[in-house]
Structure 1
Amino acid sequence: MLIGTHVSQAGGLDKAVARGVERGCRSIQIFNQSPRMWRPTNYTEDDFAAFRAAIDDSPIDAVLIHAVYLINCASEDPEIRTKSLASLKQSLHVGDGIGADVVLHPGSALRGEVGPAIKRAGEVFKEALEESDHSLLLLEDTAGTGGTLGRSFEELAELIDAAGGGRRLGVCLDSCHLLASGYDVRSIEALTETLDSFDEIVGLGRLGAVHLNDSQTPLGSNRDRHANLGEGEIGEAGIAAFLSEPRFEEMAVVLETPGPDKRGTTAEEIAYAHRLRRRGLRARR
């Protein structure tokens, strides 16, 4: 299991690798630009080469890019969709350059109808993929209200179908979002049942990565509030279930926790994740 965390790319893409190594990561996730601005960071081929060289000299085996939060491929506003397409294409371009897959929040219908919003989003996903080469586009399950897309496995499947169902379309499951959206993941048995449902509706072959976060809010709250591992509604037993789940064994399992000082996941929390993994593996024997 490739346990890791989100790290900063400040100072250059290759600096993210060292930050991951310092925390004991086997996987890392980065933003390819400021997550709350449209303006892209224009990396060069030299930047990509430096990153790849740093990865080759490290124990890190998987890299994710999290696309910016402003993207809403489902928007009814043509200008927002145009900006979203350009930003998503840039994320996939950087992913191609450094060997990373791209995680994306599917978007929101806001106050419009969900069906047409899914169609709009799918068209943007498809165009962005057609103009890139290798990176997978992993749609993240979400938690929210109103027209937020991706709150159910059925919606994730519909989004993939709307984008053409190509082999480069996948899913990143977030433990906090699952619980908040009403999927029980607080024990080995509950997680097994939830993943069986995902397999039936979407297919485990589409699962490309996992975000591991505890949840400040309870089952079915529809509120996305991350908590440190073992300090929320999922609890140690649920987190241990994720970390020992055999279907996640070869995947990037990336923490996005607040950290003890609200500055992100620490090396200590990565070590704690490994201890919970051992606990979960013992419970499965």
Structure 2
Amino acid sequence: MNNDTEMIMTEFILLGLSDHPVAQAIFFWIILIFYLINLLGNGLMVLLIITDSHLHTPMYFFLSNLSFLDICYTSSSLPQALLTCSTERTTISFMGCMAQIYICLYLGTTECLLLAVMAYDRFVAICSPLHYTVIMSWRVCIQMALGTWGTGFILTLIPVVALPKQFCGSNVINHFTCEAQTLGHLVCGDTHFSDIISFMNGVLTLIVPFTFILVTYLRIGLAVWRIRSDQGWSKALSTCSSHLAVVGIFYGSAMSIYLRPKSKYTTDKDKMVSVFYGAVTPMLNPLIYSLRNKDVKQALQKLFGGKGSRY
């Protein structure tokens, strides 16, 4: 495309579901409820893990990181989605749009890596229980957590550097928020290089950690297969089932969005799936862990004045 058709964007217009005002109003309340449940559930999970000494273990340390991460992740996009649904014409500055994209990419990438670290923690707990406290010492846990957050930041820089900065024609984004793939439709010129970089980054942030998790749980499954007692099976199932559920929901929805063939247009279905992906998965995490975890239930009883016993 010629240079005279290129534009210096100062702001973008977010469409949301403006063509369907009734659906947009309903969607607003659904997202608001999900967001409030996410803040309450993940916030309560962080509070429980900090205040209850029985939850001061590596597993809950990483879980508190996940809950804090989900609060940040949803807060980086859902307020914008709510604003888009509640106003007739929603605009966002160029810098605000870029910041939203990069923050969401960073937090999403970090969550991919954190789930892989949590799988390794479960692997050590089941396959090397006698050496667990040595392998997963507090020093190691802190280093792994810091490494996860740091690596997520480095991996986010890859698509940031490759993202074109020139835009053509309309400044209308057919979405509730600034979303990287949707913004890519407005980019001028040849996007072949940036598409390759984005795909490679998707492999690094989604395929590699997911493969690591699959291999880890395959080894866990082989170890559990050798357990002859019902008690051992039950302990292994309670230890891993919650994390497996979260992994299935998170990676399944993320891969369906970011690893599918790039489309030139964004449909209303794509927009809603994308927002639900950023709202439903973080909301379900604390519910999955609390409903299937005896320690968390007992910590809740203790926090709210119950007399639940741990023994």
Higher strand residue share: 1
Higher helix residue share: 2
Would the TM-score normalized by the shorter structure come out above 0.5? no
Which structure has the bigger radius of gyration?
2
TM (norm. structure 1) is 0.23
TM (norm. structure 2) is 0.21
The structure whose RCO (Cα within 8 Å, separation 6+) is larger is: 2
